[in-house]
Amino acid sequence: MSGRAITDVEGTLDVVSPATGELITTVPAASEQDVVLAAERAHKVFDSGAWAGRSPRERAAVLLRLADLMERDAELLARLDCEDAGKPITECRTGDVPAAIESIRWFAEAADKVFGRVAPTGHDSLGLVSREPVGVAAAILPWNYPLAMAAWKVGPALAAGNSLLLKPAEATPRSTLHLAGLAAEAGLPDGVLTVLPGHGTVTGTALARNPLVRALSFTGSTATGRRVLADAAETNFKRVSLEMGGKSPQLLMADALEYGDELIADMIEAAFLTMGQNCTAGSRVLVHHRIAEEVLDRFAAAAKGLVIGDPADPRTQMGPLIDRAAFDRVVAAVEAARSAGAHIHTGGLPHGLPARGAYYPPTVISRAPAGSDVLT
């Protein structure tokens, strides 16, 4: 099924533009049985050696061709993520897509450079440590970096010789589907990479519980990560790698402003890149009291200068949030902080926002009470 989605499904997913709220397209939604069939195909092709049995350099050659094809289709890939996720097109063109291509090339070159070793033993024995693919692996992706995150998981899994079942986020499947098509064009054998768009509660759960899946990589929310780990523990104890959200603060000491305007610019990027929808977003800042007022003034001024608008416009720096549900959560969190005595320096609505879509202005808040949702 390399290069195409499962089609014998029980439903579809609507891909909706965060910028307009309009339907972009529908894609098949994989059922639990679809996951079973895909895992069986992936396991069969792994056992056949059609991919795992190739030399590392042969696998690298296919991945390098894939990277070349991604470069050929870079503009299309950027536009798919821009439309599906509402990411500013400039961010996609200059950040996400080049990073995804670089990642595939890096893992291609690592294919014959990460290897086993000879263990120290006595003269009458030989100890070898051999690195081998696990077999069928699965990866569950978030919506904030659709193509880049797919590349970070596809690259190492395929370079090592595994078969991979890849589930994109419900909201952002199209760049991943196109990536799978490019992999087939690059010469990846059928069944080695299968994209399974679907609902997390159905498709994601089926991947986490499938006994043929030997390793699973998940990026997303802490709540979903807990469920993935529980599903794996209740079935075959597959290896699970979890990357989940956090809110570790940036610390600004008394001498921080000696670094000039570059510091504020870096802080703005850390806080508002991808509209702040980032597990490493630097959106919580602890500031030394001696510079707190100046930092707030400069930070708020910089936030006010961000260009909000159509993500397809190269001038746009902040597009919409991923959907109206996310918009409603942000509104509720900011209003709760305001009611509890927090100071809103800029943003918090209104901001002359586009009439349609899930747009929320860059917002700077100080003195939010402990436990406030804007801090978590």
Q: Could you list the active site residues?
A: 243, 279
Q: Pairing relation of β-strands 285-287 and 250-252? A: parallel
Cα–Cα distance for residue pair 315/123, rounded to 1 Å: 68
Q: b or e along 203-239 (b: 16 or more beta carbons within 10 Å of the residue's beta carbon)?
A: bbbbbbbbebbbbbbbbbeeebbebbeebbeeeeebe
Cα–Cα distance for residue pair 157/168, rounded to 1 Å: 16
Q: Which of 316, 299, 319 is nearest to 252 (CA)?
A: 299
Task: Give the three-class secondary structure for 285.
Answer: strand
Residues in the chain: 376
Cβ atoms of residues 224 and 260 within 8 Å? no
Cα–Cα distance for residue pair 168/30, rounded to 1 Å: 11
